[in-house]
Structures are given as structure tokens and as C-alpha cells.
Amino acid sequence: MNTKTLVHLLIAISLATPYIAEAQQPKTVPRIGYLTFGSPSTASSQIEAFRQGLRELGYEEGKNITIVYKYAEGRSERLQMLANELVRLEVDIIVAPGTPAVQAAKQATASIPIVFPGVADPVAFGFVASLARPGGNLTGLTNFSPQLSGKRVELLKEALPRISRVAVLRDPRLPPDSFIETEKASQALALKLQSLEIRNAADVEAVFSTLSRERAEALITLPHSIFNFHRSRILELVAKNRLPSTFGDKEWVEAGGLMSYGPDTMDIRRLAAKYVDKILKGAKPADLPVEQPTKFEFVINLQTAKQIGLTILPNVLARADRVIK
């Protein structure tokens, strides 16, 4: 090899080296922090819906995306600590289903994007400036909950036209929008409404003792993470007391509740992946409008109705989008 050929070869190698090195560098796999009030068991179906949404967009957990899960195990006081841990881990995005988790994530960071799959009223909670222009580091989907509360009362009264006393489970630490709408609808239908407050597991047992003494004829459970975490126990006590009940999420009816009216929460979790995808591709949460649900389902469990000796009127069954037989 002569000198001239050697020089040309060295120049070619030097020019190619940066591209070879770049090609050999491993691609950075985005990390998503998933912060939930629940536990691996109580949050499993919602997490799987989120994973499904990611798969539909071409993401495969463990290959081209990593998810760091943080479970509060039903203890709201742990949420802030867990949110802070995700910030220290420098995750690319935090997904926070439910108001308590969003509040903790918002407190932990003003820079990491936060996606919320299902918050009743993100404007009222101060999470976003408006639905059309969130304006900060938070965006996601609303479950439109307060506006649906009155409709649930109406459907309950149609199914049980003779009732006059109704109890409602609520968490007083949250804004009262859903409760106010429930109260208005109850007054319009001449129903006496009894407010029962739940903050923790001990309150669940105490509340049902009160229900038994006060002889409530039906129960309304407002949508909230704490109730979802205690779903199994609440439904056990509802069945024990043979109490007609209505909820904001069909998961309750599938698990044994009587009826529900609300958006498809699994679909909301699945659609949250779309926000994650857009943000990973460079979109800013401030510019991504908050989506509202467009489809609402009225679900009735006839098995439960039979177990508590209740006959659902044909006109009410005809209105149901789904009847579990």
C-alpha cells in the first residue's frame, strides 16, 4: 500500500468513525412513572388498559418503554413521598390516575409532564387553566363526574320509584361539586339525602353501621380513588345489607353492584397512552387540550337485583346499555 492510498484510507476511517459510534450508542428508552392510590391488585385492570393503549401505539414495556410503578396501597399520606421518588428518578412523564395522585404529582414537580387519566374537574382543582389550553405541565382526560351525579340519582329513582331515603358516600376532602349535584337532584325528586364520609378503611365499617341504624333505602357512591381501593369490602357490606346501590363506574357493577352510569373508565386509561405518545414525540402538556368523554354507559346487574329481591321495571331495563344477567 503506497502512502497516497494509506492517507485516503485514514481520512475515510476518520470521517466514518463518528457515524459508527453514533450507530453503536444505545437508544434511550423513555421511562414513565405510574403513580396510583391503589395496590397491584386493585389497580391491575386500569394499568392493563393503559398498557393496551401503549401497545396500540407501538410501545412494548421492557423493550422500547419502561414503566416505574408506585403504589400507595390505599394510604393517601404515601402519595407525596412516592411522587417525590419519581421526580428523583427523573422519569420522562408521570401518569397519575385519580385526583389524590394528581395532587401529589403536581406538588412534586412543575417541569416533568403529568398525564391524568380521569379527573372530575381539572379546572376546579387547579390542575389546568382551561380544558382547551391547560397552560402548565399537566394534561389528560376528565371523567366528567360532577355533571353526571344528578343523572345517577334520577336513574336510581326510576329503578326504585318508592324510595324516599338515600345515603351517599363521599370524601369531604374533595371539592363538593359531585355532592352538590347529587343533593340538588335528590331535592328535586323529594328524596331525603344522608351524607356519609369516608377517609380510610375504618370509616367504611362505621358508615355501614350508620346505614343500618338509619335505614337507608339505597346507596350512591361518588367516584373516588379511596372508594375504588375499598371496592370489595364496600360491595360485601352492600350485599350483606341488601342495599340497592348505584356507582359511577361499570367495574362496580361487574363486581356485584346493582347499577352504574358514567364514562368507560377503562377506555379513559387506554386513551391516556395517546397523551404519553404525543409528549414523548415533543408535544407540550400546556398545548394538549384536556379531553372529555363522549360516551356514557348505563349498566344494570340483574343477578344482583335478584339477590336483594328487587325487580327492575321494564322501562328502566330498556334504557340500559348493558344488562348483566
Q: Residue 18 above 90 pLDDT? A: no
Instruction: Please indicate, yes or no, whether the overall pTM of this predicted structure exceeds 0.75.
Output: yes
Cα separation of 119 and 123, whole Å? 10
DSSP states along 105-160: HHHH-SSS-EEEEEES-TTTTTS-S-SS---SSEEEEE--HHHHHHHHHHHHHHHS
Q: What is the pLDDT of residue 237?
A: 93
Domains, the chain, ordered by start = 31-143+265-295 (3.40.50.2300), 145-264+297-324 (3.40.50.2300)
**pLDDT tens sequence across 102-161:** 999 999 999 999 999 988 889 988 999 999 999 999 999 998 777 789 999 999 999 999
Q: Extract the C-alpha cell encoding 188.
A: 328535586
**pLDDT tens sequence across 208-241:** 888 878 888 999 998 888 898 999 999 999 999 9
Q: Extract the C-alpha cell encoding 90.
A: 427523573
Cα separation of 35 and 102, whole Å? 8
Question: Which strands form 93-95's sheet, in the order they lie side by side?
Answer: 66-71, 31-36, 93-95, 114-119, 138-142
Cα separation of 42 and 155, whole Å? 27
Q: What is the pLDDT of residue 3?
A: 55
**Contact at 8 Å (CB) between 211 and 219?**
yes
**What residues does 115 pair with on adjacent strands?**
95, 139
C-beta neighbour count of 55 within 10 angstroms: 14
**pLDDT tens sequence across 270-303:** 999 999 999 999 999 999 999 998 889 999 999 9
Cα separation of 160 and 312, whole Å? 8
